[in-house]
Every structure is written in structure tokens, then in C-alpha cells.
Amino acid sequence: MSAGEQAERALCARLAGGPVGAELVAEVLAAAYAAGALQLERLGTVRARSKSIARDLVTEVDLASERLIVEHLRRAAPGSAIEAEEETRDAAATGLRWFVDPLDGTVNYVHQLPCFGVSIALYDGPRPLLGVVHAPRLGETFVAAAGAGAWLVEGAGGPRRLSVAPTEALADAVLGTGFPYRRSQLPHSNLENFQRFFHDVRDLRRMGSAALDLAFVAAGRLDGFWELHLAPHDVAAGALLVREAGGVVTDADGGEDWLRGGHIVAAPEALAGRIRARLVH
């Protein structure tokens, strides 16, 4: 057994107390790793085209990654619904539903910046069960299962449990955020919120991948994250990572409409309210 296989087996054992069986966790990891390998193989060779507007990009690697992941999930969990970014959107139904962003951070990918990755989450109705964010260029995989914690696997190393930062004051915080592609067409582009924090926080980061922003909050690298105008596939996996790492996830008003409501705040509990208090949306 290779070191990587040993690390994966150890991770599945850590998640055994959660609601998803080890075999299904292994299948989801295999799908994420396969998509990540494809992305690394094609990095620097692809042409992008625009979707909704010029800055909203998609590549053949986005599409190929989604098809690969969907094939894995159909085989591993027949009968469950899938909602992915590019092509696959099963009819709304109760029960198990996958949220898939096959290549989160496409603009980064096109420009060969390292913050891009695969995001896969399983929900039972509104309840998150499993979340995986795999960053192939960084060599990191973030995994959480409901009630079983959030974990990081780096290369062949064993899984390391994650915890959000203990930060309470904005003055001590490094916050992440992002901006919508249709920023010139929306009443709130998030730039005004950026300015509301600019002078009072330790610093601000714009990574270009909401899935990785949330994973970094779970890992305590970012102290908090907010963003407007996001889709379910952007946040479904990362939100569970943050919650299982001891943080809170709400919409911009402090409610629970963060999955489909478009606006999200994720941070340690002591900091989340301070972030929400400054947001306009």
C-alpha cells in the first residue's frame, strides 16, 4: 500500500463516525483526485471562452472535469440528484443531492495561478453530509463529514484535524472575499464592503476561489470570509468544512439562507457578527 493510499484509508477511518460510509467517501475522493489530475495535465494548454460575460470563463477542462465527476457519482450513489456548475442539473427533489464545482477558480486556472480546485458536497435536503475541496496545484485536500470534523490531507501525510482561528477582533483579522463577474450590472458589487473593512482589518485577500476561501477559513489561515452573489456549488462543500472546524456560516443577515441566497459569511463565532454588521447587500 502506498503512502497516499495509507493517508486516504486513515482519513476514511477518521470520518467513520459521520453519516457517510467509508466506501462512498473513498469514491468521492477518487473523483476529486481524478479531476485534479486532469486539470494539472492540461494546465497551460487550454483556451477559454466566455459564458455570461467576457470575464466569466469556461474551458474544456471545466467540462471534462464535470463529466468525470458526474460519472463517478452516478456509479457510487445511484438515485441521488446532482447539481453542477456547467452541464448537469437534475430536477429539484427531496433526498440526497450533490453540489459540484468541477473547477472552482477557472480564471486562476487559465492564468496558471495556483488557487483553483474541485468542490464536491453531498446534502440530504438542507443538511450537509459531506464536503470535499481538492486543490491539486497546492497538493491539499480538505474533507469534512457532518459530526466527524474537518480534516486536511497534504500529499502522503496523514490527515490533520482543522480548527478555525480564535480571532475575535477585526484589527487582528485577515479576511477573504471576492467579486461577482457581473459587477457592473449589480446594485452591490461588494467593492463598497471591501472599502468598509479596508482601514480596520489586518489585511484583505481575494483568492479567486470561494471553495478555497472557505477551506482556508476552516484551516485557520483566513480569519473570516464573506461574499455576495454566489451559487450553491461555490459554497456547499466549504461551508461544511467551516462548521466542522468550529466556525459559523450564515447569510449576510445572520440567517440560514446561505446555500441558495447568494450571500455568505463564514468565521469564528466571535468575529462573524462583526463582519455582518458592516455588510451592505
Lowest mean pLDDT among 3-7, 86-90, 101-105, 209-213: 3-7
- 60 and 188 in a single domain? The answer is no
Residue 243 has pLDDT above 90, yes or no: yes
Interatomic CA distance for residues 26 and 43, integer angstroms: 25
Q: Cβ(256)–Cβ(248) under 8 Å?
A: no
Q: How far is CA 180 from CA 65, 125, 207, 210, 228, in A?
A: 23, 27, 13, 11, 7
Interatomic CA distance for residues 252 and 6, integer angstroms: 41
Query: Residue 140 is part of which domain span?
Result: 3-161
What's the confidence (pLDDT) of residue 29? 95
pTM of the model: 0.94
Residue 9 has pLDDT above 80, yes or no: no
- 271 and 209 in a single domain? The answer is yes
pLDDT higher for 278 or 11?
278
Residue 210 has pLDDT above 70, yes or no: yes
What's the confidence (pLDDT) of residue 92? 73
What's the confidence (pLDDT) of residue 103? 97
- 103 and 241 in a single domain? The answer is no
- 133 and 267 in a single domain? The answer is no
Q: What is the total count of domains within the chain?
A: 2
- 133 and 199 in a single domain? The answer is no
What's the confidence (pLDDT) of residue 141? 97
- 197 and 114 in a single domain? The answer is no
For cell 463565532, name the residue: 269
Element (H, E) at 16: none
- 246 and 203 in a single domain? The answer is yes
- 86 and 223 in a single domain? The answer is no
pLDDT, the chain, mean = 91
- 178 and 138 in a single domain? The answer is no
**Residue at which a domain ends, from 133, 161, 189:** 161
Q: Cβ(61)–Cβ(38) under 8 Å?
A: yes
Task: Give pLDDT tens digits for 12-69.
Answer: 777 866 778 888 999 999 999 999 999 999 999 988 887 777 676 789 999 999 999 9
Residue 3 has pLDDT above 80, yes or no: no
Residue 86 has pLDDT above 60, yes or no: yes
Residue 206 has pLDDT above 70, yes or no: yes
Task: Give pLDDT tens digits for 106-164.
Answer: 999 999 999 999 999 999 999 999 999 999 999 999 999 999 999 999 876 779 999 99
Residue 1 has pLDDT above 60, yes or no: no
Q: What is the CATH number of the domain that holds 206?
A: 3.40.190.80
What's the confidence (pLDDT) of residue 5? 64
What's the confidence (pLDDT) of residue 155? 74
What's the confidence (pLDDT) of residue 34? 97
Task: Give pLDDT tens digits for 244-276.
Answer: 999 999 999 999 999 999 999 999 999 999 999
- CA torsion through residues 252, 256, 259, 261, sign: negative
- 115 and 51 in a single domain? The answer is yes
